[in-house]
Each structure stands twice: as C-alpha cells, then as structure tokens.
C-alpha cells in the first residue's frame, strides 16, 4: 500500500519530466518493489465480546507483528451473520492477499467463503467450520475429542465407569456452530453408556454467552431439585451457570465443567474451585498467520490443522496458569 502510494506521488511530482518518469517508475516497480510490498490480510472475526475472542485477536496480531511484510485488518462482525457476510464481501472487493474467517455459524457463511476462494484468494477458516471444502485450510481444535475428554471427566466425577450416578445439565453453545455439536457428540460417547447419568433440562441455544447460560440455569434450578453436574460448551457459560447456582445457594452441591481454559479465566476458576475442570482450546490466530505465509510463499499446506488440548483440573491448574 505504502509503496503503491509512493509510486503515485512520484509520478505526480515527476509528471513534467515525462521521459524520465517512464524509466523511474519502471525501476521502482521492478523486483525491488515486489519485495517491499506488504501482504494485506483481512480477518473476519465473529465477535469480540467473549474473552476467548479477545485473546484470539491478540494472538493473531502478535504473530502478524513478527512479519513486517504483513498488514492485518480485523473486522468485528458484532456476532451477526449478515455483518460478517458484508465484512467478507468487503475483503473480496479489496482483493486481500489472504482472508481469514472465524464464522458465527456454518450454513450462513459457507457461500461467501466459497466466493472468496473462487476469486483466487487463499481463505483460512478458523475455529468454527463452514460446510463443504471450498477454502484453503481449516485450523481449529478437535472438538469431538475435547467433548469426549469432558465426558470421561464427568463420568469420573459422578462415580466412575459403570457406576456413575447423577443428574446432568448440558449448556449448549450456538446450534448453528459445529463446535457445539462436536462437544455434545464427543461427551455423549462417554455419557450415553452410563445408565445412572440422567440428563435434565431442555436443550437450549445459549450462544456461548455467560448471561444466557445464567438465565437458562436459573430456570433449570427452579424446576430441578437435584442437579449434580453442569457441562457447558465453554467457560463463560460454565461460570454463568455457577453464578446462577450460587445465587440460589446451591453451588456447593453441583460440579461445573467448561471448555476454553484461558489462564486468566477458566483455568483461574478451576484454581479457585468454582469449576471442577476445563479443557484448553487454543486460539488459531497465530497458526493462521504462519500457515497463510506458507501458502503465499508457494508451499503446500494440509487441508486441516488440528490444535492440541489439555485437561485443567484442581491438581494442575496452578501450574498450567504459571506456564501459559
């Protein structure tokens, strides 16, 4: 951008010297210019109201800052599919060198991802999937595995395999987002086998939000005299449920399990004994920048990059926080 602007300025100044100008702009637009050129990256982030999203942007900006040739532009969709479509269209029009998207939902954003990809722009889908294969790469955690680890932990908390007993409330993330379904399905692999675990409460879309989880939990507490475990699809919702239980004076009888494991958030709540456990869900921001540079340098990259997880419990939370 800067270099392009410099050419325009140079041509204006040099306009009267028409002959010399030709040589001059030819000189600066040759390989030297190509090397200086910045890559312009557009990142369509679904929202920035959740702490995990704030961390995600921070990680991505920090990695981008290591590469002076990269200019990163982040658009916040305000948690709205229509705004996110508009942000993506804008990046396509601007002919970004690479586009990143962490979508609100799969169905409503598959089309615009395809459009960007078909326009020849490398497109990186981060954290939440879109449908089909019309993108360069997907980077995210294995939510089925995370769910399964959470399910095994819930079985352990309630008495162990074959003996588990208790009433379970599951608090769902957005129904339109694949991680919610994967976290449910994964956990169910462990939980469905346990005849002593009874699911209570309606299946409600709490959209990953602490306040929605609080309200939902409040209604479940009102009708269910016995709740033993809450499994929330992320830590803010686990914490919202904890607060609702606390306000009802019942938090000591319930174990809360979440996902994300941010050191200053979920992991700290585990350390404080508010949550029984959580699972690290690394943000894909930094990896996204690294992978896109590989693509722009002509390297082959896999269609999918899976980020690791780790359980965070009472016995390792302190050490986890110290090392992250």
Q: In residues, how long is the chain?
A: 324
Q: How far apart are CA 158 and CA 307, in angstroms?
A: 29
The tokens 């943000």 sit on which residue? 283
CB of 64 to ligand FRU, least distance (A): 20
Based on its alpha-carbon atoms, the radius of gyration of the chain, rounded to whole angstroms, reads: 24
Q: Which is nearer to ligand FRU, 166 or 258 (CB)?
A: 258
Query: Which tokens belong to 16?
Result: 């009267």
In the complex, the smallest distance separating the C-beta of residue 194 from ligand FRU, rounded to whole angstroms, is: 25
* Distance from C-alpha of 81 to C-alpha of 146, rounded to nearest angstrom: 26
Record the tokens describing residue 33, joined without a space.
């210019």
**Of 51 and 111, which has the nearer Cβ to ligand FRU?**
51
Residue 234 C-beta: closest distance to ligand FRU, Å:
3
Sign of the dihedral defined by the CA atoms of residues 309, 314, 316, 321, in that order: positive
> Per rule CB under 6 A, is residue 53 in the interface with ligand FRU?
yes
- C-beta of 130 vs 259, nearer to ligand FRU: 259
Q: What is the dihedral of CA 231, 236, 241, 245, to 10 degrees?
A: 130
With a CB cutoff of 8 Å and minimum separation 6, the contacts of 188 are 147, 151
Neighbours of 66 (CB within 10 A): 11
Q: Is 260 in the site for ligand FRU (CB under 6 A)?
A: yes
- From the list 47-55, 90-98, 249-257, 314-322, the region that binds ligand FRU by CB under 6 A is 47-55
Angle of helix 51-65 versus helix 285-296 axis, rounded to 10: 40
| Least CB distance to ligand FRU at residue 290 (A) | 21
Binders of ligand FRU among residues 123 to 142 (CB under 6 A) are 127-128
CB of 197 to ligand FRU, least distance (A): 23
Q: Rounded to the nearest whole angstrom, what is the least distance from the CB of residue 292 to ligand FRU in the complex? A: 20
Could you give the CA distance from residue 301 to residue 320 in angstroms, rounded to a whole number?
31
Are 270 and 111 contacting, i.e. CB atoms less than 8 angstroms apart? no
Minimum CB separation from ligand FRU for residue 207, in Å? 8
Candidates 103, 176, 179, 288; binder of ligand FRU (CB under 6 A) is 179
Q: Of residues 177, 238, 280, 286, which one binds ligand FRU by CB under 6 A? A: 177
Q: From 28-36, 49-57, 80-88, 311-319, give the range in contact with ligand FRU by CB under 6 A.
A: 49-57
309 near ligand FRU, rule: CB under 6 A:
no
Task: Please say which residue, 160 or 308, places its beta carbon nearer to ligand FRU.
Answer: 308
Residue ranges binding ligand FRU (CB under 6 A): 47, 50, 52-53, 127-128, 173, 177, 179, 208, 234, 259-260, 281
């Amino acid at each position: 951008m800067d270099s392009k602007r410099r050419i325009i300025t140079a041509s204006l100044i040099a306009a009267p010297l028409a002959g010399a100008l030709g040589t001059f702009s030819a000189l600066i637009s040759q390989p030297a210019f190509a090397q200086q050129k910045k890559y312009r990256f557009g990142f369509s982030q679904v929202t920035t109201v959740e702490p995990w999203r704030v961390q995600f942007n921070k990680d991505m900006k920090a990695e981008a800052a290591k590469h002076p040739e990269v200019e990163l532009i982040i658009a916040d969709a305000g948690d709205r599919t229509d705004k996110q479509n508009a942000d993506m269209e804008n990046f396509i029009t601007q002919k970004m060198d690479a586009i990143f998207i962490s979508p609100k939902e799969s169905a409503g954003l598959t089309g615009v991802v395809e459009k960007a990809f078909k326009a020849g722009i490398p497109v990186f889908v981060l954290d939440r999937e879109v449908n089909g294969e019309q993108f360069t790469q997907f980077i995210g955690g294995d939510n089925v595995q995370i769910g399964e680890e959470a399910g095994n932990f819930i079985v352990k908390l309630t008495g162990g395999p074959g003996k588990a007993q208790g009433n379970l409330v599951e608090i769902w993330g957005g129904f339109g987002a694949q991680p919610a379904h994967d976290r449910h399905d994964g956990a169910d692999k462990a939980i469905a086998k346990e005849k002593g675990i009874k699911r209570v409460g309606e299946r409600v879309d709490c959209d990953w939000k602490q306040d929605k989880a609080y309200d939902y939990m409040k209604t479940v507490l009102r009708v269910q005299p016995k709740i033993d475990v809450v499994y929330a699809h992320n830590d803010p919702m686990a914490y919202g449920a904890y607060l609702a239980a606390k306000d009802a004076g019942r938090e000591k009888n319930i174990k809360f399990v979440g996902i994300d494991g941010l050191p200053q958030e979920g992991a700290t709540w585990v350390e404080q004994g508010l949550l029984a456990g959580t699972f690290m869900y690394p943000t894909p921001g930094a990896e996204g920048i690294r992978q896109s540079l590989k693509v722009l340098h002509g390297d082959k990259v896999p269609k999918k990059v899976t980020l690791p997880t780790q359980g965070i419990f009472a016995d390792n939370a302190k050490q986890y926080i110290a090392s992250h």
